[in-house]
Structures are given as structure tokens and as C-alpha cells.
Amino acid sequence: MKIRLALACSALAVAGALATTAPAVAAAPVRGVDEAVSVSAEVIPRFGTMSVNWTAAGTADTTGTTQITIDLPSWMTFGSLMMIDEPTYTFSYTISPDGHQLTALYTGTQKPGQTEILQARISSALTIPPGVITATVSNRGDRNPANNVASTGIGGETAPAPVIPAKPHALHTDISTGPGIGGSVVTISGKALANGMVLFGDTPATNVSCTDTSCTATAPGGRGFVPVEVVTPGGSAYTPSAFLYTGPPPPAPPAPSLTSAYTKSGPAAGGNAIYLAGNNLEGGQVLVGGKPAPDSSCGYTLCSATAPAGTGTVDVRVLTAGGITPVVSGDQYTYTG
């Protein structure tokens, strides 16, 4: 995956390093291919706005979790999010206690050429003193992490010279086992870990806080051995040992359900977009006539996918960790022509 990150007033290109070797447990496959991200900001006295756009380039889907962090000067704070485009992502975000940093996680599938948008309000000083806005992007599938960091000067400040994000190194974890229900607080020591995202297998940790030399994170629920990975703008690093879950795993999430299918028919060759609405759909896979639909991506209440080829009238269902949606006649799809 190649990620391009640009700020409206000033853009810079940086190059990072590739991921380190995984431990001797089965790690999740690299899924990313190519993605372009841009960030723009408009700041005037007392308030401002910021927009994040990311577009999948290349020729294949981009699937998995992407983390975006935006750091503001000390005299600016983040307000509310105005818009999150594309609700077929599973999306979460946090704002630091001091209001100066926003960290967002997006999990889903993006088709080549598809653009998503996030917009946020910013509160600024009555007068705009010199300062710098910096944004970073981290994705485990970023095979060539160029342009993952961008800065722009505001209030007359000059943006700093381009910096190459260093390759992260995860050298030590204070614990390597915890209950299957999750909740263990793990500290990872290393180098170049700032702006990191911590993954236990495929699942992002919560309450993540990373400095250059350490990350603390709360383990999600799971079972068995899973690799632990810190993903930064400079690449990915696995911890020396995997994490072992003991005891029962967390209960399964609520069963998914569909309330409506916005697309009822399409050509036998497939290729048209399908949109579904329901509940508890996050992370789901759309099935059309029992076939996995390409480009499948599900948020909490909406799914999008591309219809596979087929014939006749078939059931449309969504498979999640909580189960599969029941067969409902109103959720059928008819192939035409």
C-alpha cells in the first residue's frame, strides 16, 4: 500500500521502512495495496475546519484498519466531527484530554478510486500565532510508507523540513498472557513507536497511547495465541512473543439482522453496487446466493458490496462474528437478463 498524505497549504513527502518479521505464529495477511490520503485545513480567528479525504488507488481493494492522527498547536483544540462519509466503515475516534490530537480508526473495504471524507471543527485563538499542524497515517498493509506524514505552517510559521518516519522496533512487552475476555493492559517498549496503532491479531487494541519509546494498550478479547503488532507511519513491528489468551473468550457480539435491501436486482454478470441496512452488521461479509460479494464492507447499520455473477432469485445475507442474518424474502436479489 502506498499512502499519500497532503495538507492544503503545504505538502511534504516522506519515506518509511517496511514491516519487521513476524513471530512464529500465524499473522494476518497483508491486505493493503495502494491508498492516497489528503488533509486540508482552514483556520481563521476563533474557529476553523479540517477535512480528511482518503482515496484508494491501484487496482485492488484496500481492506483492514487505517489509523489517522492529527496534531494541532497548543492554542487549537478539536471540536465536534461535522461529517463522516461512508457509513459502511466501522469507525471510531478519540480526542486527547487536552483537545490537541484526534486519532481515528477506520475498518472496512475500499474499492479503487473510492474516496471517503471526515470533517472536524477546530477552535483556535482570537489571534492566530505561528504554529504547525501535523498529520500521520498508519496502515499495516503499507508496503511503501511514503508520504505518511505531512505538516503545514499557519500564522506565518514555515513548515518543517520533510522527515522520514523511522522504522518501529518492538523490543519488549511487560506481559504476554491475559484473559480471553480482554482487558489486560499491556506495555510495549521499543523505538520509534509514536503515533502507533496496536493490533492483537486482526483486532485493534483500545485505550492506546504511544510515545517514541513505549505504547500502552488494552487488549481486546480473543482466544489462543495471536501476534501483537505496532503499526506506525514508518511501518510495522511485531513484539518478540505472541500474546496468549487464557480462559473463555468474550461472548459473541449480538446477532446481525437486516431491515431493508436497497438493491433488489441487477444483471446476471454482476458488478453493480448493493446496499443493505440493518443492525449489528459491523465487520460483516455480504453473501449473495451464498457467494461472498466482492468489495464487501459493513459499518454498524449499513453494508455495501458488489454483486457477484449469478442467475435467478437468491437470498442476500450478512455474516458477522455474531452469526448470520436470517433468510427473509424481502432481502432477496434477482438476476436479470
Looking at the structure, tell me whether residues 10 and 156 fall in a common domain.
Answer: yes
C-alpha cell at 103: 486519532
The confidence score (pLDDT) of residue 38 equals: 66
Query: What's the whole-number mean pLDDT along residues 7-33?
Result: 34
pLDDT-based confidence at residue 100 (cuts at 50, 70, 90): very high
C-alpha cell at 183: 482487558
- Domain holding 67, by residue range, is 1-164
Query: What's the whole-number mean pLDDT along residues 283-304?
Result: 93
Query: What's the whole-number mean pLDDT along residues 228-233?
Result: 95
DSSP 38-104: EEEEEEETTEEEEEEEEEE-SSS-EEEEEEEEEE--TT-EEEEEEEE--TTSEEEEEE-TTS-EEEE
The confidence score (pLDDT) of residue 112 equals: 75
Alpha-carbon 271 to chain mean position: 25
Looking at the structure, tell me whether residues 76 and 221 fall in a common domain.
Answer: no
- The total number of structural domains in the chain stands at 3
Determine which of 7-21, 111-125, 172-186 has the lowest per-residue pLDDT on average: 7-21
Query: Could you say which of 227, 251, 275 is where a domain stops?
Result: 251
Q: Are 67 and 3 in contact (CB under 8 A)?
A: no
Query: What's the whole-number mean pLDDT along residues 133-146?
Result: 79
Looking at the structure, tell me whether residues 244 and 307 fall in a common domain.
Answer: no
pLDDT-based confidence at residue 37 (cuts at 50, 70, 90): low
Query: Could you say which of 221, 251, 281 is where a domain stops?
Result: 251
Alpha-carbon distances, residue 318 vs 51, 114, 277, 301 (angstroms): 32, 22, 10, 11
DSSP 266-294: EETT--SEEEEEEES-TT-EEEETTEEPT
Looking at the structure, tell me whether residues 243 and 266 fall in a common domain.
Answer: no
Looking at the structure, tell me whether residues 143 and 7 fall in a common domain.
Answer: yes
In terms of average pLDDT, the best of 7-11, 106-110, 221-225 is 221-225
C-alpha cell at 171: 523490543
Please determine, for residue 12, whether its predicted confidence score (pLDDT) is greater than 60: no
Alpha-carbon distances, residue 121 vs 27, 45, 118, 234, 239 (angstroms): 38, 13, 10, 28, 37
Query: Could you say which of 164, 183, 213 is where a domain stops?
Result: 164
C-alpha cell at 269: 454478470
Q: Return d(Cα 239, Cα 296) in angstroms, integer.
A: 31
334 in helix, strand or coil? strand
The confidence score (pLDDT) of residue 24 equals: 36
Nearest to 134 by CA among 73, 45, 184: 73
Looking at the structure, tell me whether residues 34 and 145 fall in a common domain.
Answer: yes
The confidence score (pLDDT) of residue 171 equals: 95
Beta pairing class for 332-336 and 265-267: parallel
Looking at the structure, tell me whether residues 20 and 101 fall in a common domain.
Answer: yes
Looking at the structure, tell me whether residues 16 and 69 fall in a common domain.
Answer: yes
